[in-house]
Amino acid sequence: MTGSVIIICFFVLMFLGIPVALSLALAALFYMVAFVDIPPIIIAQQMLAGIDKFTLMAVPFFVIAGSLMEFGGISKRIVNFAKAIIGSLPGGMAVVTIVSSMIFAAMTGAGAATTAAVGSTMIPAMADEGYDKDFACGLQAAAGIFGPLIPPSILMVLYAVTAGLSVGDMLLSGLLPGLFMGLIMIIVTMCICVKRNYKGSGKFQFSNVLKTFLDAFWALLTPLIILGGIYSGKFTPTESAAVACFYSLIIGVVVYKELKISEIGKVLYKSFKMAAGIMLIVGATQAFGWVLTREGIPQAVAQGFTTVIKDPTLFMFAVCAMLLVAGCFIDAVPALLIFAPILCPAASAYGIDLMHFGVVMVVTLCIGLVTPPVGINLFVASSVGNRPVHKIIPQLPWFLFSMLIGMVCVVLIPQLSLILVQ
């Protein structure tokens, strides 16, 4: 009963407009004051314990790296390279948007950063080629989901820390599901473009491909350095994130010369604000999770699931349905940090591999990045494309359909997530 009151308190505070991190912390504080005789300072101690992990340093580093790439000209060159390869296909500019987002995702690990960086170039370019601008915004919002899927991924790092798994293996487990979902989205998008008679842009020329490749060479090295360093054992995921920051700074300032020394402070300030928000949520969910664990909520949820649902696959789909609903109202980071400690014991009780379960959770919550009313990618694409959100939403159903197909496949084919880490 007490656990239910705490959860209700959290949702009431959140729907009153209080930020998620404060809602979590205040709900935990309410529990300490109203139900137990424990000094409230334990909440602050739990919040500090939640972020006092070396691995979590990767989160702010990847956020900073993403901002440096966005302002340093890296995203523009990636777009030009993808356009030279596939821009001439039917619906080529739309496919370029997806492929560019997937490449940029392999550098930043964040959906909003991917949507902003690629969308700032591709949405105006698609509009100039005759694409409906609302369609372009909807596509970019959907393509931004690959940020948290394809490694490196902030969500994967947070889940690995929460579930006590290897961060490197967790990052790698998202690669094939991310690529597979990208392929499905490309097929669906090309079908839409053919139906709407969106033609390709220009002609394929090998000389142009070579030229744009050479121009984007240093940008394309970024994911190789990040992932190659991790899986060769040269440095940890946290160290790779720091290397990504340094490399992006050098490329933006020295090589491409699009990031001015005077702009670095502004870029870092923007990154620090975003990273601080994420880390505050991490600390608050640690305190909230400690309260729930003290009340036995995770164990009760696990017992409830195993009593009502006997089949592990049916359990996975029940979790997906719950997370799809939650993703409409809570951003992916707090949703993952709230539900992972609760649902992982239940998944273990069913004998489900926690790495596969983590990929399913991340895939499902990534869909929430696009669904209103809280889908952050939707609002970023709206801002970048200068279009009202209610005009973009009608363009989303087919993109969401492709994501749901991908989600179902990830649930039913565990090897998609596990084959690279076994």
Among all chains, which residue has been given the structure tokens 């739309």? 94
3-state SS of the chain: helix, strand, coil percent to 5? 80, 0, 20
| pLDDT average, residue stretch 73-96 | 79
On whether the pTM is more than 0.85, the answer is no
Q: What is the pLDDT of residue 1?
A: 57
Confidence of residue 407 (pLDDT cuts 50, 70, 90): very high
Of the candidates 368, 337, 369, 341, the residue with the CA atom closest to the CA atom of residue 354: 341
The CA–CA distances, whole Å, from 378 to 125, 138, 366 equal 18, 7, 12
Confidence of residue 108 (pLDDT cuts 50, 70, 90): low
The sign one gets for the Cα dihedral 361, 382, 63, 21 is negative
Where in the chain are the domains? 40-418
Digit-coded pLDDT (tens) for 227-255: 777 777 777 777 877 888 888 888 888 88
Pairwise CA distance, residues 422 & 420, whole Å: 6
Pairwise CA distance, residues 42 & 279, whole Å: 18
245: exposed, middle or buried (C-beta count within 10 Å: 0-12, 13-18, 19+)?
buried
Q: What is the pLDDT of residue 357?
A: 94
Q: What is the pLDDT of residue 10?
A: 79
Q: Torsion-angle region of residue 203: left (phi > 0), alpha (psi -120 to 50) or beta?
A: beta
Query: Of 146-160, 167-181, 275-289, where does the model show the most confidence?
Result: 167-181
| pLDDT average, residue stretch 56-79 | 76
3-state secondary structure 226-252: HHHHHHCCCCCHHHHHHHHHHHHHHHH
- Indicate if the pLDDT at residue 374 is higher than 80: no
Confidence of residue 404 (pLDDT cuts 50, 70, 90): very high
Of the candidates 329, 278, 282, the residue with the CA atom closest to the CA atom of residue 113: 278
Report yes or no: 323 and 365 within 8 Å, Cβ to Cβ. yes
Digit-coded pLDDT (tens) for 2-60: 767 777 887 788 778 787 778 888 888 888 887 777 787 888 888 887 777 777 777 78
Q: Percentage of the chain with pLDDT > 70?
A: 95
143: exposed, middle or buried (C-beta count within 10 Å: 0-12, 13-18, 19+)?
buried
Q: What is the pLDDT of residue 358?
A: 92
Pull the structure tokens for residue 270: 């923007």
For residue 29, the tally of other CB atoms under 10 A from its CB is 19
Confidence of residue 412 (pLDDT cuts 50, 70, 90): very high
- Indicate if the pLDDT at residue 202 is higher than 70: no
- Indicate if the pLDDT at residue 298 is higher than 90: no
Pull the structure tokens for residue 404: 């749901």
Pairwise CA distance, residues 288 & 14, whole Å: 14
Arithmetic mean of pLDDT over the chain: 81
